[in-house]
């Protein structure tokens, strides 16, 4: 009875929405509705499809054929009268539409094959293109009515739509729509899953609507949509039928409190939802999954529509969103995104489908929640045009004559053979040269190429798996026998030296100690650095494990650490724009670690001393000795002993010993305030209320007085909007609970937005010439020597000893 009443309410509200659409519908600047092959106009709702004989000036065709169906299609969510006539093209024909408003336009093409005299429209084979985009290639119509929907940017005052029949065939179309879209409907870009925060530029691409679903298993007809879209019921796409419930609460939808309009999606979409059914098992970890058949070899824009319409306990609920096995967002809190219940919200991401024809979308509960739930109100999947400006899968494997194929295959085989021969020759020459170079090393030095052993007999790494193993004598030569004058820095693992290889390549050489903990860090760092390659992660060049040595060789970073450019040295001071760009670079590196593989990588030691700067001040994350593989997809955290650097440690990780990607987010938030204030994280020389940077900065941020703690050397450089956005995301990173912190992808997006808000002021030239101010040397350093050394690595050090050391330092300062 309840379900029936819900259906009645939905139909009643939908009817009202239909009337609203009639009176308040979207009025496009450019609007062409053509009933092809018809001699009379047709009214569909509040729209009029004009007979194309009245649009004769738009069409260029050498031959005109009108066709009429003897009967209407059996079933269609669109008005069946639009499928009863058709225009047939025996040769290439063009529609040319005048465009008054450049920008993204929609094209809808209506197809329904029927018999007309000597024409059997089901045998048609043709292509359709618009501007420079191929919309359909080698198209053969289905038996049932079909509406294909495309959008793309129009930059000129003309939009040309062409129909090209194949040889001995013809083309046809029953009806078509061309109209301009609201500016807010399609964003200029969207983040790509697993591509380190990369934003795809959608402006240069065409889109094809593949799926548009209304969750809650209710169909929304074009008459109930301001943009005349069809929203299919989601029930037939569900992978399982027993893990979800359909709910409806249209009255809870509130557009006035948010920034969206019904042009994004109507109330009838946001007012229904498919949710996780946790009633049988309140502790369920099941996901609600939808399966879609898509064309491989394309990228897809996936839009998730959310609206919190659920009555539930006062406690918040969080949930995860997935595409395939990749997490789009974890611990999604709709209330945090929208600030109130019933406010619509949508999220765009781009994913690539390479081989499989199946695209899976899932929602599921976040772990360790008292009330597990998940919700999705609507979903849109749009195919993105490929590098050939095509939306048709056949263009990735266009048919050619058998002779052309044979020539192409033979040519490729010949080229492939030549490449193999050249590769073998180059390999032999390089090997010969390498052996010749090695002969120059001291005769007494042994080089292990198949693997090396420590004194305990443990086999380390094979050369083939982890890159080039350097002989110890080569490293001695590169560092002038580890000269103290070449020391770049000292960390918990050991000293870092500047080195120069025989080919004049500058390198950084990290030489560790032989402690058991050092061996573990050595192995971890080599594994991590050899596993990943990213422009914002320091690159591994090689390593050496001869003579029980633990040496890692990686690329030399000309400008040292971010920390050195903030305080405690005489380096030139970084401008605000440079600091933002450095934060963005580091965020990209961390985002790649978190999302660049099936299992995320948690850095676990994010700090300003581990962010290095190259000659152009581009940031790269370094020091992966403490890194840890993240949790499995069905787990919320990794339980592990606490390691990291004091002042940067996630308090939740410190207390619970439960490590997540959000632990890196917390540490990065500390770095952000360090960048803004230009001072150490812990400075016992300052007054008590300023000793802890995080506490001091958060108090100022929450009072709305963040400008009071900005590095004095940045005075007059920061625009207020940029500062506010920077402080806002830093505060979110430092939330006490990990679930309340943003992902690194969200942090990256907000930092890039802060950079946009800053505008072109203080734009760095990337040539090393920055403003003529210098960081205050030792201005924040305490006179107590113990304080200078106790704030470094805490890997393996008990927290009780750390706090005891802090008390000791504070007492020493008071005594002075």
Burial of 602 (0-12, 13-18, 19+ CB in 10 A): buried
Residue 20's CB is within 10 A of a number of other CB atoms, namely 15
Instruction: Return d(Cα 356, Cα 291) in angstroms, integer.
Output: 12
Instruction: Return d(Cα 529, Cα 555) in angstroms, integer.
Output: 11
The DSSP code sequence of 456-515 is T--B---HHHH-EEPPHHHHHHHTTTT-GGGEEEE-SSEEEEEEE-TTS-EEEEEEE--S
605, 650, 664, 683: the active-site residue:
605
Instruction: Return d(Cα 493, Cα 301) in angstroms, integer.
Output: 44
Instruction: Return d(Cα 356, Cα 293) in angstroms, integer.
Output: 9
Say how far residue 39 (Cα) sits from the centre of its chain.
Answer: 50
From 348, 336, 347, select the one nearest 308 (Cα to Cα).
336
Burial of 402 (0-12, 13-18, 19+ CB in 10 A): exposed
Beta bridge partners of 436: none
From 374, 339, 344, select the one nearest 267 (Cα to Cα).
344
Instruction: Return d(Cα 372, Cα 283) in angstroms, integer.
Output: 7
Cβ-Cβ contacts under 8 Å for 6 (sequence gap 6 or more): 247, 248
Going through 286-325 in order, the beta strands assigned E by DSSP cover 288-293, 298-306, 319-323
- Distances from the Cα of 792 to the Cα of 490, 786, 797, angstroms: 10, 11, 11
Buried b (16+ CB within 10 A) or exposed e, 720-753: eebbbbbbebbbbbbbeebbbbbbbbbbbbbbbe
DSSP state of 29: S
From 604, 606, 609, 519, select the one nearest 557 (Cα to Cα).
609
From 303, 284, 291, select the one nearest 245 (Cα to Cα).
284
Work out the angle at residue 794's Cα, subtended by the Cα atoms of residues 789 and 796, and round it to the nearest 5 degrees. Answer: 130
Asked if residues 196 and 346 have their Cβ atoms less than 8 Å apart, the reply is no
Instruction: Return d(Cα 763, Cα 542) in angstroms, integer.
Output: 36
Residue 451 has φ and ψ, to the nearest 5°, of: 140, 150
Instruction: Return d(Cα 545, Cα 543) in angstroms, integer.
Output: 7
Work out the angle between the directed axes of helices 720-733 and 693-702 (0-180°, nearest 10).
Answer: 120
Residue 378's CB is within 10 A of a number of other CB atoms, namely 28
Say how far residue 567 (Cα) sits from the centre of its chain.
Answer: 33
Asked if residues 403 and 357 have their Cβ atoms less than 8 Å apart, the reply is no
Instruction: Return d(Cα 749, Cα 755) in angstroms, integer.
Output: 10
Residue 346 has φ and ψ, to the nearest 5°, of: -130, 160
According to the annotation, is 510 in a ligand binding site? yes
Q: Where are the alpha helices (DSSP H) in 641-692?
A: 651-656, 661-677
Query: Rg of the chain over CA atoms, in angstroms?
Result: 32
Q: Is there a catalytic annotation at residue 721?
A: no
- Distances from the Cα of 128 to the Cα of 37, 173, 326, 661, angstroms: 18, 10, 35, 47
Binding residue numbers: 510
Q: Which residues are catalytic?
A: 605
Question: Which residues are known binding-site members for ATP?
Answer: 510
């Amino acid at each position: 009875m309840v379900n029936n009443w819900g259906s009645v309410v939905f139909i009643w509200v939908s009817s009202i929405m239909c009337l609203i659409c009639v009176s308040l519908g979207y009025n496009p600047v450019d609007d062409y509705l053509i009933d092809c092959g018809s001699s009379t106009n047709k009214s569909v709702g509040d729209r009029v499809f004009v007979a194309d004989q009245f649009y004769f000036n738009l069409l260029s065709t050498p031959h005109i054929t009108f066709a009429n169906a003897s009967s209407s299609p059996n079933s269609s969510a669109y008005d069946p009268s639009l499928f009863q006539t058709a225009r047939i093209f025996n040769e290439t024909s063009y529609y040319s539409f005048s465009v008054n408003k450049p920008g993204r336009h929609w094209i809808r093409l209506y197809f329904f094959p029927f018999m007309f005299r000597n024409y059997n429209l089901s045998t048609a084979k043709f292509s359709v293109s618009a501007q420079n985009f191929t919309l359909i290639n080698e198209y053969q119509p289905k038996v049932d009515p079909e509406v294909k929907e495309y959008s793309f940017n129009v930059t000129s005052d003309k939009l040309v739509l062409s129909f090209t029949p194949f040889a001995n065939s013809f083309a046809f179309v029953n009806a078509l729509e061309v109209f301009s879209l609201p500016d807010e409907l399609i964003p200029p870009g969207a983040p790509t899953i697993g591509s380190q925060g990369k934003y795809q530029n959608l402006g240069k691409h065409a889109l094809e609507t593949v799926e548009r679903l209304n969750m809650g298993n209710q169909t929304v007809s074009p008459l109930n949509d301001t943009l005349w879209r069809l929203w299919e019921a989601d029930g037939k796409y569900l992978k399982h039928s027993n893990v979800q419930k359909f709910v409806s609460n249209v009255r809870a939808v509130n557009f006035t409190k948010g920034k969206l309009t019904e042009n994004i999606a109507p109330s009838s979409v946001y007012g229904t939802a498919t949710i996780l059914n946790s009633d049988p098992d309140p502790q369920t970890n099941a996901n609600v999954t939808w399966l879609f058949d898509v064309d491989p070899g394309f990228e897809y824009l996936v839009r998730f529509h959310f609206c919190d319409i659920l009555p539930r306990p006062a406690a918040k609920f969080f949930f995860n969103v997935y595409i395939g096995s990749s997490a789009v967002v974890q611990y999604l809190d709709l209330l945090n995104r929208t600030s109130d219940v019933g406010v619509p919200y949508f999220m765009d991401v781009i994913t690539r489908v390479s081989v499989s024809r199946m695209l899976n979308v899932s929602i599921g509960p976040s772990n360790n929640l008292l009330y597990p739930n998940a919700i999705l109100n609507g979903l849109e999947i749009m195919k993105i045009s490929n590098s050939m400006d095509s939306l048709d899968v056949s263009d990735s494997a266009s048919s050619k004559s058998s002779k052309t194929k044979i020539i192409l295959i033979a040519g490729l085989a010949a080229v492939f053979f030549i490449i193999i021969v050249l590769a073998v020759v180059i390999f032999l020459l390089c090997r010969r040269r390498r052996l010749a170079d090695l002969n120059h090393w001291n005769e007494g030095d042994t080089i292990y190429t198949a693997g090396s052993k420590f004194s305990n007999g443990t086999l380390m790494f094979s050369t083939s798996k982890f890159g080039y193993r350097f002989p110890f004598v080569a490293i001695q030569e590169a560092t002038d026998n580890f000269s103290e004058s070449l020391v770049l820095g000292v960390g918990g693992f050991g000293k870092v030296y500047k080195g120069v290889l025989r080919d004049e390549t500058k390198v950084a050489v990290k030489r560790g100690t032989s402690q058991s903990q050092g061996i573990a860090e050595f192995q971890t760092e080599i594994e991590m650095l050899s596993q990943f390659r990213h422009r914002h992660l320091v690159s591994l060049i090689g390593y050496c494990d001869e003579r029980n040595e633990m040496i890692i060789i990686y690329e030399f970073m000309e400008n040292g650490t971010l920390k050195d450019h903030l305080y405690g040295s005489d380096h030139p001071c970084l401008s605000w724009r440079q600091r933002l760009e450095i934060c963005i670079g580091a965020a990209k590196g961390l985002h790649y670690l978190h999302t660049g593989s099936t299992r995320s990588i948690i850095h676990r030691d994010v700090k300003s001393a581990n962010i290095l700067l190259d000659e152009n001040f581009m940031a790269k994350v370094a020091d992966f000795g403490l890194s840890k593989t993240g949790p499995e997809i069905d787990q919320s955290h990794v339980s592990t002993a606490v390691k990291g650097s004091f002042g940067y440690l996630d308090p939740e990780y410190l207390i619970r010993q439960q490590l997540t990607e959000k632990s890196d987010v917390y540490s990065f938030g500390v770095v952000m305030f360090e960048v803004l204030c230009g001072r150490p994280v812990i400075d016992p020389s300052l007054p008590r209320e300023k000793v802890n940077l995080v506490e001091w900065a958060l108090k100022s941020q929450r009072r709305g007085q963040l400008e009071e703690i900005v590095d004095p050397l940045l005075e007059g450089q920061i625009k207020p909007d940029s500062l506010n956005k920077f402080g806002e995301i830093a505060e979110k990173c430092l939330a006490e609970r990990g679930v309340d912190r943003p992902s690194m992808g969200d942090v990256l997006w907000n930092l890039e937005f802060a950079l946009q808000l800053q505008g072109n002021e203080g734009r760095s030239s990337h040539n090393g010439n920055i403003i003529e101010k210098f960081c205050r040397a030792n201005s924040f350093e305490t006179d107590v020597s113990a304080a200078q050394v106790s704030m470094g690595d805490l890997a393996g050090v008990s927290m009780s000893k750390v706090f005891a050391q802090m008390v000791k330092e504070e007492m020493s300062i008071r005594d002075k």
